[in-house]
């Protein structure tokens, strides 16, 4: 079975396509979750809606929902579509780095 060429795998509006850069392991991971991307986005967005103006960092989303960090592309997709927005606020992660706080569009400042 031949692999689908990189340019056939993503839509022009996929904000995560350039991240893969044709790496076979990234391509395989993308193929594995392709069918569940919409469900993951919906789950993250519902979580952000419940949090309201408090929002969450990607680390907080990942920890609360048990979603591996490797699915951070779903947050990128929500941001790109305008369904979620960065508030401009930051909170520290466990490693001490600052992370952007993200809210559902309905709670945007």
Q: What whole-number distance in Å separates Cα of residue 39 and Cα of residue 20?
A: 21
**Domain assignment of residue 3, yes or no:** no
Q: Mean pLDDT in the chain?
A: 82
**Domain assignment of residue 25, yes or no:** yes
**Domain assignment of residue 35, yes or no:** yes
Question: Bigger pLDDT: 35 or 89?
Answer: 89
**Domain assignment of residue 9, yes or no:** no
Q: How many domains in the chain?
A: 1
**Domain assignment of residue 10, yes or no:** no
Q: What whole-number distance in Å separates Cα of residue 61 and Cα of residue 68?
A: 10
Cα–Cα nearest to 67, from 91, 107, 33, 103:
33
**Domain assignment of residue 1, yes or no:** no
For the chain, how far is it from start to end, CA to CA, in angstroms?
A: 49
What CATH number should be reported for the domain holding residue 54? Answer: 1.10.10
Alpha helices in 11-99 (DSSP H): 17-20, 24-33, 37-51, 58-65, 72-81
Reported confidence tier of residue 26, pLDDT bands at 50, 70, 90: low
Domain carrying residue 35: 15-107
Q: State the average pLDDT over residues 66-81.
A: 88
Query: Tell me, what's the pLDDT at 2?
Result: 44
Reported confidence tier of residue 4, pLDDT bands at 50, 70, 90: very low
Query: Tell me, what's the pLDDT at 14?
Result: 53
């Amino acid at each position: 079975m031949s692999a689908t060429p990189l340019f056939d795998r993503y839509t022009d509006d996929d904000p995560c396509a350039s991240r893969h850069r044709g790496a076979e392991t990234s391509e395989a991971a993308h193929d594995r979750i392709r069918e569940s991307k919409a469900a993951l986005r919906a789950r993250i967005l519902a979580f952000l809606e419940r949090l309201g103006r408090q929002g969450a960092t990607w680390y907080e989303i990942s920890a609360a929902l048990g979603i591996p960090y490797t699915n951070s592309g779903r947050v990128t997709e929500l941001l790109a579509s305008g369904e979620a927005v960065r508030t401009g606020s930051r909170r520290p992660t466990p490693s001490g780095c600052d992370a952007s706080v993200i809210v559902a569009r309905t709670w945007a400042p």
